[in-house]
Amino acid sequence: MHLHAEHSLFFERRQPLWVAALAVALTSSVLIVNAGARSTVLSLTCSGLGAVLLLFAHAHGRRRIKPALAWTLGVVALALLAGVALNSDTDVIVQTSARVLCGAIWILWLGTQIDWASLRQLLLRIRIPEGIVASLDHALMHGVLAQREWVQRRDAGRLRLGSPRLPAAAWGPLLGEGALHAFTRLERAEENGLLRSASWEDVQAHDGVHLDAIDVKRGGHLVLRQLELRLARAEWLLVLGPSGAGKSSLLRLLAGLDGPTRGTMTRLGSHVSPDTTLRARLHGRVALLGQNPEHHFIASTVAEDIAWGLLRRGVEPGEARHRSREVATALRIDHLLQRPCHQLSFGEQRRVALAGLLVLEPALLLLDEPTVGLDPVAALELRTLVAEAVRRANATCVWATHCLHSLPSQATRAILLRDRRVLFDGSTEEGLSEPWLIRAGLAV
């Protein structure tokens, strides 16, 4: 069993659950005995046994224990020095340090025998409430993403300064911006979780989407003004405009994440007004794919994340797994089902995020810059896969982008946004003509 190349919390290959259970039971027993015996000799004996197991694990390729073990020994040594400096009882210091060392070594060994995916299954088997396990899973994954964000910012700082060491003054902004980015990602993930778990309603007879004289404010700033829009069922709509024109704001309004400040909206047969609460604005048949796929991930592995929305809507686990695999196969990501979400490429992340939405069979699919960051081949594949999914579900699709080189051919209608209002609403052919693109700020 080898640790995955990118993070030691996940193994490349799953091991039998009984192996994980045995490792947890053995480690727990040693920790209980170590805590209750209050014997330096016993703690050191257990430490020696744990060290032998660690060395055996190291010899079999689990080499990430080396830096962790060095830090552990360093902490114990510092504790001993601090105790001597403070003239504390030497016997108490030695006994406490031996117990801490024993506990640390055995926990490190447990980390070489069990990964988070196995531990998660084990917690569910012993009847730990699913909500608690899901919260731990969510926190762990976003902790890993935050760690990667800080590493990327640190490396960027090293490149800009041309030095392997960053000055102390650089660490404050680096950590602060990384933390702010992490909080933003958590906020977006919470919003997408609300959308994916929203109650499902039958919309067989819905008459599309109607926006009447809509104004939208966010943070005290007007982000959409005097918006008039009609969308028929099964219609494809292109929303084009430069950055800051209001494309994302329009999609958030259609998704229900933002409400109108003025005006009214009728969507899939449901009425939305300025007084409608967030919970009431959300609709289980509306799906929004944001620009950053990491903002969609709630569970740590691909299979669990795709099935997350179905399980929250009361679908039986077996049925949820079956439907998730079907969607994954259609999107050609079925070989990724056991992979951790944070270890995917950007294109793979985009497909996994899309799968988590399509498995819910949305009647209104909202896509925010879906091909940005993808190479031409991946962009073509994504357009093809979205078109097939929309056709099967007879859904309405709104495709928002500023990229004019990767547009879906199914869209016969386009609107151009400029300065947070609609500049053009008509055929795609006319909207993509040079005079209109120049007026919209999309061409020179």
Question: Residue 2: what pLDDT?
Answer: 34
User: What's the CA gap between 44 and 116, in Å, rounded?
Assistant: 28
What separation in angstroms does the CA of 433 have from each of 168, 372, 439?
A: 53, 22, 10
Considering only CA atoms, which of 33, 30, 71, 35 is closest in space to residue 52?
30
The CATH fold assigned to 209-440 is Rossmann fold (3.40.50)
Question: Residue 225: what pLDDT?
Answer: 93
Question: Residue 364: what pLDDT?
Answer: 94
User: What's the CA gap between 227 and 101, in Å, rounded?
Assistant: 65
Considering only CA atoms, which of 168, 175, 135 is closest in space to residue 154?
175
Amino acid at 352: V
Q: How far is CA 247 from the centre of its chain?
A: 22
Q: Where in the chain is the domain with CATH 3.40.50.300?
A: 209-440
Question: Residue 141: what pLDDT?
Answer: 82
Question: Residue 7: what pLDDT?
Answer: 45
Question: Residue 137: what pLDDT?
Answer: 85
**Long-range pairs for 267-272 at CB < 8 Å and ≥24 separation?**
267/209, 267/210, 267/364, 268/201, 268/203, 268/206, 268/208, 268/209, 268/363, 268/364, 269/201, 269/203, 269/205, 269/206, 269/207, 270/201
Question: Residue 368: what pLDDT?
Answer: 96
Beta strand 221-231 pairing with 209-218: antiparallel
What separation in angstroms does the CA of 237 have from each of 203, 259, 428?
A: 20, 21, 9
Full pLDDT tens readout for the chain, 444 residues: 333 434 456 766 667 788 888 888 998 899 898 888 778 888 889 888 988 888 887 776 654 555 555 555 555 555 555 555 555 566 777 777 788 788 888 887 887 788 788 888 888 888 888 878 888 888 888 888 888 888 888 898 889 888 888 888 888 888 888 888 888 888 899 999 999 998 876 665 567 899 999 999 988 889 999 999 999 988 999 999 998 899 999 999 999 999 999 999 999 888 999 999 999 999 999 999 999 999 999 998 899 999 999 999 989 989 999 999 999 999 999 999 988 888 899 999 999 999 999 999 999 999 999 998 888 898 999 999 999 999 988 899 999 999 888 899 999 999 999 999 999 999 999 999 999 999 999 988
User: What's the CA gap between 93 and 89, in Å, rounded?
Assistant: 6
